[in-house]
Amino acid sequence: MSSGPRNENVGKNGQDTPTELGSYFISNYPPFSAWDRDDLSPARDAIESHPSVDTPLGLYLHIPFCRKRCKFCYFRVYTDKNASEVERYVDGLAREVELYSDKPVLQGRPFRFAYFGGGTPSFLSEKQLRSLVEKLRRSVDWDDAEEVTFECEPGTLSQKKLEAIREIGVTRLSLGVENLSDAILEENGRAHRSAEVFRTYAWAKEMGFPQINVDLIAGMVGETDENWRDTVERTLELSPDSLTIYQMELPYNAVYAADLKEGSLRVADWQTKRRWVRQAFEMFESKGYSVSSAYALVKNADTRFVYRDALWRGADMLGTGVASFSHIGGVHYQNLDREDQYLAALDAGELPLGRALSVTKDQRLIRELILQLKLGRIQPDYFSNKFGVSIMERFRDPLDALRESGYAEYDEREVRLTREGLLRVDALLPRFFEPEHRGVRYT
């Protein structure tokens, strides 16, 4: 995958470009393609080290199972596993956490957040979920975490499963709604239907989850102006605590990739997707919501995304599960990305490390800068205090270019993205990369 749209979604003479194959969303730096599969010593050294206890630490648990594979999905997920295979993976995940529990990197460091992601964590049965948590708690706990997030596909939930999710300490329930047209959900390969969204949401409200988040995707195949407005209006009626909206991208390994190459697939262009996200932002803002990032709105301005904000400010994260990513002590690394290899390593009593990269101080600065730009504003003092670098001097050229394009405004105290800049922020970020990382494959 590329490091982002090469032309910032704008062609010659200001014309907008169609959605092309490749990654749009930027989640890390340096690009994953720069990580080394041959030298894993940086990861091993980080795991055996005692980093500062002042650096926040989070736990990510990858559950890679789904009822169906969405046609736009590029994550490591499985749709053909039986109950015994799922249980073997769950045992492996618990074993990985157990192996970490005695490592120096975890000693004296409570988890600030925990995140059950996927795939579909709610794919697990109530029994499998309770079993996993029981095994995990023999090694670690998240009792003092500020946030525990659990991703859900609405059609996998029952009242009893939601009760189990609530009982394990989940504070933020994230519902992968994506769209509220059954025809569009079907076309894009989603397993749930709109009626399941409303039923599940009502149950979750009754159970008192502190934060219920709804995910939407602008630009799904088949999307129209009428459908998008209807989806946003019906989501607004739910009055979620927070809403996340992503613009549809089509990575090379998505099911839709072949159709796009053949020219048989029509996908909304970037201008249309930005217009739809802008419309959703304005509709929610008119009801008192505030924009929290390029993708998120919150009903209460005090509502936080601890997972997001900690990672974007340099927190450590222990990523467990097949293909999961970790950021520990200035080192990025990823687990083995095939389930058989992942489980074989654990059976041998080894951590399932796949590739790694030791990150320089300047790269850590760039990483935090580009990720925090997604919030819509950054404070130069934060970077000068933490890294001893003036970002106004270090990045004067790209910042000036953003201002001249109408995407940013700034003074010595703050850099602010305009709404147009925020809506295309991922396309703007590669200009802050080191030269050798611009225009390369992202993964």
Per-residue pLDDT of 232-254, as tens digits, reads 999 999 999 999 999 999 887 78
Q: What percent of the chain has pLDDT over 70?
A: 96
Residue that finishes a domain, picked among 310, 341, 373: 310
Q: Are residues 221 and 239 in the same domain?
A: yes
For 390-418, the pLDDT digits (tens) are: 999 999 999 999 999 999 999 989 999 99
Name the token pair of 97: 């956490």
What is the per-residue pLDDT for 18?
80
441: helix, strand or coil? strand
Verify that 166 and 258 share a domain, yes or no: yes
Strands of 88-146 (E only): list them.
111-118
Do the domain assignments include residue 420?
yes
| CA 304 centroid distance within chain | 15
**Residues 371, 301 within the same domain:** no
Confidence of residue 258 (pLDDT cuts 50, 70, 90): confident
**Per-position DSSP letters for 68-120, written without gaps between them:** S--TT--S--BS---HHHHHHHHHHHHHHHHHHHTSGGGTT--EEEEEEEES-
Give the CATH number for residue 233.
3.80.30.20
**Are 57 and 205 in the same domain?**
yes
Q: 79-93, 335-349, 429-443: which has the minimum mean pLDDT? A: 429-443
pTM for this one? Answer: 0.93
Question: What total number of domains does the chain contain?
Answer: 2
Per DSSP, 151 falls in state E
CB 23 within 8 Å of CB 4: yes
**Are 4 and 38 in the same domain?**
no
Tokens of 373: 């730009």
Mean pLDDT in residue range 153-165: 97
Q: Find the CATH number of the domain harbouring 7.
A: 1.10.10.920
Provide the token pair at 165. 């999710």
Q: What is d(CA 211, CA 341) in angstroms, rounded to the nearest whole number? A: 36
- Assigned domain for 63 exists: yes
Distance from the first to the final alpha carbon of the chain: 5
* Number of neighbours of residue 263 by Cβ within 10 angstroms: 7
User: pLDDT-derived band of residue 382, with 50, 70 and 90 as boundaries?
Assistant: very high
Task: Round to whole Å and give the CA distance between 228 and 102.
Answer: 49
Q: Kindly report the average pLDDT of the chain as a whole number.
A: 93
Distance, in Å, from the CA atom of 424 to the CA atom of 291, rounded to the nearest integer, reads 15
Domain that holds residue 173: 13-310
Percent of the chain with pLDDT over 90: 85
pLDDT per position as a tens digit, 125-148: 999 999 999 999 999 999 999 999
Structure tokens at 144: 């003092």
Longest Cα pair distance anywhere in the chain, in angstroms?
A: 61
- Please give the pLDDT value at position 14: 35
Instruction: State pLDDT tens for residues 347-356.
Output: 999 999 999 9
- What is the predicted pLDDT for the residue at 442? 67
